[in-house]
Amino acid sequence: MVPSHYSDSPSSVPSHLIPGSPQYRDYVLRQRKRNQKKERHRSLKRWLIVLIIVALLATMAFGSYWVWKRYFHQIPANGVYAKAPSVVSEIKPADFGLSTFLPLYGPGNKVTPISYGDVAILAGAQGTNTTLMSISETGTALWQTTVPEPLIACAHSLVENKLPCLFKGKEDSGVALVDITNGHTSWIYQSREPMINLDVSSGSTITLLGQDLSVTPIDSSGVQLDEAMEQIQGDEEQLADVSQCDLPSHGTLSYPERYTHLSKDLSLITHNGLTQVIDRSNNQVLASTSGKVLEDFEPPVSSAHDNVKNSESGSSISPQEDEATPPENKDEASDAPDKTDQSKNSSQDESAKQNNILVVASPTGCSPALLINPDSHRFLFLPDDVIVPAGQGGTIPSTVIRDGTFHTMNWEAPTVGMAVYRDTDAAFEVGPELIQSEHKTIVLTRQSVIALDRHTGRIIWTTDLDARYGIVLQDVVLLSLPDGTLQALALQNGERIWSTNAYGFSSIIPGSHQSINIHSSQGLMKWVPAQAGKDGPQVQVGRAAQPGTVKPGIRFIEGDCVRVEKLDSGKDQYKARVTKVDCSLQGAEPVVSVLTTNDVARGKDSKDYLEQCEKTDGARSALTLDSPLVDNNISGICTGEASH
């Protein structure tokens, strides 16, 4: 079609061309093509002008946004933690001649100095050697002791101001006592059996946990007080089915190794992902399930939907508790609970602590959660469809997950109540980590970080992060990521405001005067808010003490009793393991004489020791001692007739 402003009339065609003739038609077609080409050029120019205008507008908009972002935008976190803090002290393993710091309580536990009264003990490793040290607040090692064996675990309690620690040798296990005031360390016990943990009970009794979960009691001098007690499986109804659980073969962050005494009669063992409650009188399993041990108590969540009594909103877990009524909350949600709610929350919190409640919860929900009340010897499984998330720092949460949503939980009854967050569309199939603030619940799911309104459950923001641990500091969420990054998010909207390296997975511990302690296997750091470090970080490096070594401390005196375990034999002698035992135990041989290196040097022929023992009345056998754990001055012992 020819554009309207061009005409095919004779007035626009040369007069010598006759309309309708072939020349006339050719001329018109050429004119038409020429006009179409001109029109395309005009359209292209118009589009170029439009694109240039759009580009200019976009540039102006971006510039305006940058200026606003740079000079006028207020970051939704403006507290002292809104900027990356300054490091005021940094302690590294290399400062003490070590390659890494170790968890004192065994694999999977946090790497942090453990306080025993006024003394903080830290463990580290260099090769197969273990170093124990007492560390001051300034990072100075007051003493260091190096043990030429890998550390398995130290006890939670002391024996007469000395810390029992278990070490793994090439073919045996050894127990050493560490004086926490000066670091003097001596071996007290050696066992051929593979031991995996230890703790202190009944004053000075040290209980050793075997690989088969048997228990062996010894005293502070290394005397075995009783026969090793084999573990007995209890009532099948108290043993959870863990066949669907992918249990680890060693301690992990989700399943840290643990061996502690809950009361006079109960012990708790977590080993390879399985947690058991044990009757110490017969080493019988009273209850077991898979999971992490949660302690203490997280204050209850205030919710607008919690004003319904138990008969309408909850289902009792135990038939005996049907009449129990959980505390009622306020009729309407508010930012700050009134005095009545504070009193109720405080009462429930104190009640839980007084009753020493523990909960064993599987992070994946593969086995039922177990409620433990050591004071009343009460063990109760929660329903299979109830998942217990881990509260901040491994505390018992005030909510549980059922059907993918959060429900209130009265642990005293115990009773699962109504759904707390009716308005949320989030669903959780595994047990997340929870961090509570005044108005928000922060949920760590290993794939994302989700902030929920603490009263309604409405999702406020979501950030894609694999966070393993975190805390809320004022208006900032501080998270530890698996790659070693410490990431700070604005509590208001989840915006990433700063990040820094923290030497691998770290535990975050709030300190005094707004400081933050970051503990990991590659460093212990103390941070203060950025404005406190105007002159730049002043790093104080840890200083090593003169290293000491563990002493061969197993000693024998007349009147001790030993038991001899034959290992292998030759033509004239046999190798044996000598263990100090209580004289009342079967097979105990009394020590009637102790041979020193002044009598017979170590490594001499057996007849030399026999000749010396023949001089002692009542001696029936001679035993040579060459273990590096035995006092170097002792070369052998003479024993009498064994008891029967």
DSSP string, 157-209: S-BTTEEEEEEE-SS-EEEEEEETTT--EEEEEEESS-EEEEEEETTTEEEEE
Closest C-alpha among 142, 149, 154 to residue 172? 149
Mean pLDDT of 245-257: 89
pLDDT score recorded for residue 424:
61
Average pLDDT over residues 272-300: 89
First-to-last C-alpha distance (Å) of the chain:
123
Instruction: Say if residue 597 is exposed, middle or buried (CB neighbours under 10 Å; 0-12, 13-18, 19+).
Output: middle
Matching residue, tokens 């108590």: 297
Residue with more model confidence, 308 or 570: 570
Quickly tell me which residue has 């990040």 as its tokens: 499
pTM of the complete model beyond 0.85: no
Segment 327-385, tens digit of pLDDT: 333 333 233 333 333 333 333 333 333 458 999 998 888 899 999 998 888 899 999 88
- Residue 632, SS3? coil
Share of the chain above pLDDT 90, in %: 38
CA distance 641 to 644: 9
CA distances from 448 to 73, 428, 443 (A): 26, 12, 8
CA nearest neighbour of 431 among 291, 298, 324, 548: 291
DSSP labels, 540-598: PBPBPPPEEE-B--B---TT-EEEEEEEEE-SS-EEEEEEEE-TTSTT-EEEEEEEETT
Other CB atoms closer than 10 Å to residue 92's CB: what's the count? Answer: 17
pLDDT band at 511 (very low <50, low <70, confident <90, very high): confident
Burial class (CB in 10 A: 0-12, 13-18, 19+), 18: exposed
Phi-psi bin for 615: left (phi > 0), alpha (psi -120 to 50), beta?
alpha
Q: Which of 269, 175, 178, 177 is nearest to 231 (CA)?
A: 269
Q: Two tokens at 115?
A: 């306080």
Q: What pLDDT does residue 635 have? A: 95
Signed CA dihedral, 203, 208, 212, 213: sign only: positive
Confidence of residue 210 (pLDDT cuts 50, 70, 90): very high
Q: What is the pLDDT of residue 339?
A: 35
Q: Is 467's pLDDT higher than 90?
A: no
What does the pLDDT average to over 81-107? 89
- Going by C-alpha positions, the residue among 412, 431, 418 that lies closest to residue 318 is 412
